[in-house]
Chain A
């Protein structure tokens, strides 16, 4: 089976600057796929190459299995939802959405049926006669989505489409977008710098940094089993503790040693990367940490001092520091009694099956 979209060793250079550096991607039909990364990581350039606005300097772009590097945007079976919506300001909502179908020269009734149907999908059918300037940001966003969706592209491309909306509306639109994607069954390639947004909506996420893909995986994979230190830091909150891997025998848990000499077992790692003696980082999520007022006898524990406790409703956040100055954040469900107060010493343990190690 061919993929809806495939990138093979695609590179884009602007003069001396390499914006996208030999990336490989494959998006199956019907998948919600996100390109996630900080600004300047090359995610928008990647999207623009898929849309046809930029041509790859090297590598191959396959659209439904066919070579697509040089197909102009107006002949591609892709459609782009722009960050700023880019609605035609002189056309009504209906005419904006009908722009694509009219290029395909369909009969009027067919065009009308399609346009009204997609406007109903995005709940904008009551606004068909309005001009874009008479709409709110969220409504424009829906029209932009409808205008792209109506063409039934093989791949729908979205460039931070929710970036201009306020938080509450953004959360609602995330759920709605996911819902619409499932309903229409079109592959979505979604560009965002917001890891929470990517986690909420995506089937799979490609985490990008400095023009390269650091990891591709489901939200659970990139969260629980980050491939690199960058991914661990970028996705959610993470405590990164320097360790040295001392044993990577197959079939037994990896053994790692803290600078303090404390040793621990690590269940999870990308075993192909991790080598004994290599400087590595232990990734511990704040919600997996357990605080003890006294050193536990039966498991390795890191001694820390409480810097701050912050009540956040359902959870309490603890800001901790180890004797060598490493900062650790722990989240505990609100409970009594608290394990300690600021200035007091607590011992941190973790569920070993949750510990993950990456090469630094």
Chain B
């Protein structure tokens, strides 16, 4: 037996390997599309399709019968003051809730990622995830017992003599909608931010402090740029559900806490005005698109920004 390999055999071996590798490369070029074809088909049929139909409705006159004369009237109707007011309300409520969510979720994610220690890290995350398992309707009713006219807060404040009559702005206002939305979506804001923070080396934060940065500068110059991807993910995940929520405004919103999604629901199911409803749907979609685009810009600028 000779130990040295036959050079010709080696060449053949190499050629064979190259062929296999070529085949693998060929297959791997198509594999992602093969794997994705199912989900893509489902998205096309059940998501893009209906959206297309809505788009057509929004530009047609009497859409229910579909007699097909093209018009912009639905958009003109959608931009009436009464809808615009609700749209403004919706954007204000969603934005305030989003800002509150970020203001609560950032410190919370920081605490879980860096401060509480290995012992509490997983239990806290689990507790957050579990809080989301609660049925949304039950959660909103629970808030009604807290915020209601004879609810927990009013009862306690009256018993303590701090107020004489129940606070009437606690429920059926923008305030109550914002509170309920913020509480409901907190896990979805904390978890992406936590994941982004876990990738930061804690000593980098110490370095910032050592170099003269207080908490705000450390956040602004180090934590935020390094979690820009998590920030964007949080907004994408949370803002669209926030702006299109209809359960919270319906149950705790009253008149002043009305949001566009409930108006759209009413247009479709109550009044049968599918055209205006479709037009409003696209207004809502454009608003969420704008916010997501804006936050993408903020995240992008920060993660690349190296200047002052």
Other-chain contact of A80, B207, B213, B217, B303 (Cβ < 8 Å) = B207
Q: Answer whether residue B100 sits at the interface, using C-beta atoms and an 8 A cutoff.
A: no
Beyond A86-B201, A90-B303, whether A74 also contacts B207 by CB under 8 A is no
Q: What 0/1 pattern do residues 269 to 308 of B give for CB contact below 8 A with A?
A: 0000000000000000000000000000000000110111
Other-chain contact of B226, A73, A89, A92 (Cβ < 8 Å) = A89
Q: What 0/1 pattern do residues 147 to 161 of A give for CB contact below 8 A with B?
A: 110010000000000
Beyond A90-B225, A100-B212, whether A95 also contacts B206 by CB under 8 A is no
Q: Which residue of A lies closest to B222 (CB)?
A: A88
Q: Answer whether residue A113 sits at the interface, using C-beta atoms and an 8 A cutoff.
A: no
- Are A86's CB and B211's CB within 8 A? no
Beyond A86-B201, A90-B303, A95-B306, whether A51 also contacts B210 by CB under 8 A is yes
Other-chain contact of A82, B207, B225, B306, B307 (Cβ < 8 Å) = B207
- Are B303's CB and A74's CB within 8 A? no
Q: Considering the chains assembled together, what is the distance between the CA atoms of A102 and B308 in angstroms? A: 8
What is the distance, in angstroms, from B93's C-beta to the closest C-beta of chain A? 34
- Are B212's CB and A82's CB within 8 A? no
- Are B226's CB and A74's CB within 8 A? no
- Are A74's CB and B212's CB within 8 A? yes
What is the distance, in angstroms, from B303's C-beta to the closest C-beta of chain A? 6
What is the distance, in angstroms, from B135's C-beta to the closest C-beta of chain A? 41
Chain B 210-242 residues near chain A, CB threshold 8 A: 210-214, 217, 221-222, 225-226
Beyond A86-B201, A88-B204, A103-B217, whether A80 also contacts B210 by CB under 8 A is yes
Q: Answer whether residue B64 sits at the interface, using C-beta atoms and an 8 A cutoff.
A: no
Q: Which residue of B lies closest to A51 (CB)?
A: B210
Q: Answer whether residue A91 sits at the interface, using C-beta atoms and an 8 A cutoff.
A: yes
Tally of contacts, chain A with chain B, CB under 8 A:
69
Q: Answer whether residue B208 sits at the interface, using C-beta atoms and an 8 A cutoff.
A: yes
Q: Which residue of B lies closest to A111 (CB)?
A: B308
Q: Answer whether residue A79 sits at the interface, using C-beta atoms and an 8 A cutoff.
A: yes
Q: Answer whether residue B8 sits at the interface, using C-beta atoms and an 8 A cutoff.
A: no
Q: Considering the chains assembled together, what is the distance between the CA atoms of A154 and B214 in angstroms? A: 20
Q: Answer whether residue A104 sits at the interface, using C-beta atoms and an 8 A cutoff.
A: yes
Q: Answer whether residue A53 sits at the interface, using C-beta atoms and an 8 A cutoff.
A: yes
Q: Answer whether residue B255 sits at the interface, using C-beta atoms and an 8 A cutoff.
A: no
Q: Answer whether residue A350 sits at the interface, using C-beta atoms and an 8 A cutoff.
A: no
Contacts of B213 in A (CB 8 A): 74, 99, 103
Q: Considering the chains assembled together, what is the distance between the CA atoms of A100 and B212 in angstroms? A: 6
Chain A 43-64 residues near chain B, CB threshold 8 A: 51-53
Sort chain B's interface into a size bin.
Answer: 20 to 34
Q: What 0/1 pattern do residues 201 to 218 of A give for CB contact below 8 A with B?
A: 000000000000000000
Q: Which residue of A lies closest to B218 (CB)?
A: A74
Q: Answer whether residue B29 sits at the interface, using C-beta atoms and an 8 A cutoff.
A: no
Sort chain A's interface into a size bin.
Answer: 20 to 34
- Are B211's CB and A79's CB within 8 A? yes
Q: Answer whether residue B23 sits at the interface, using C-beta atoms and an 8 A cutoff.
A: no
Q: Answer whether residue A84 sits at the interface, using C-beta atoms and an 8 A cutoff.
A: yes
Q: Considering the chains assembled together, what is the distance between the CA atoms of A100 and B211 in angstroms? A: 5
- Are A151's CB and B306's CB within 8 A? no
Beyond A95-B306, A102-B308, whether A82 also contacts B203 by CB under 8 A is yes
Q: Answer whether residue A65 sits at the interface, using C-beta atoms and an 8 A cutoff.
A: no
- Are A74's CB and B214's CB within 8 A? yes
Beyond A90-B225, A90-B226, whether A73 also contacts B306 by CB under 8 A is no
Contacts of A88 in B (CB 8 A): 204, 207-208, 221-222
Q: Answer whether residue A293 sits at the interface, using C-beta atoms and an 8 A cutoff.
A: no
- Are A74's CB and B201's CB within 8 A? no
- Are A86's CB and B207's CB within 8 A? yes
Q: Which residue of B lies closest to A53 (CB)?
A: B206
Other-chain contact of A99, B203, B221, B225 (Cβ < 8 Å) = B221
- Beyond contacts A73-B206, A151-B211: 13 other A-B pairs, Cβ-Cβ < 8 A, are A73-B210, A74-B214, A79-B210, A80-B206, A80-B210, A84-B201, A88-B208, A89-B226, A90-B304, A91-B306, A99-B211, A103-B217, A147-B207
Listed by A's residue number, 20 A-B pairs whose Cβ atoms lie within 8 Å are A52-B210, A73-B210, A74-B210, A74-B211, A74-B213, A82-B203, A84-B201, A86-B203, A87-B204, A88-B208, A89-B226, A90-B226, A90-B303, A90-B304, A95-B306, A99-B211, A99-B213, A103-B211, A148-B210, A148-B211
On B, residues with C-beta under 8 Å from A are 201, 203-204, 206-214, 217, 221-222, 225-226, 303-304, 306-308
| Among all A-B residue pairs, the 9 with the closest Cβ atoms | A103-B212, A86-B203, A86-B207, A100-B211, A73-B209, A95-B306, A80-B210, A90-B225, A74-B212
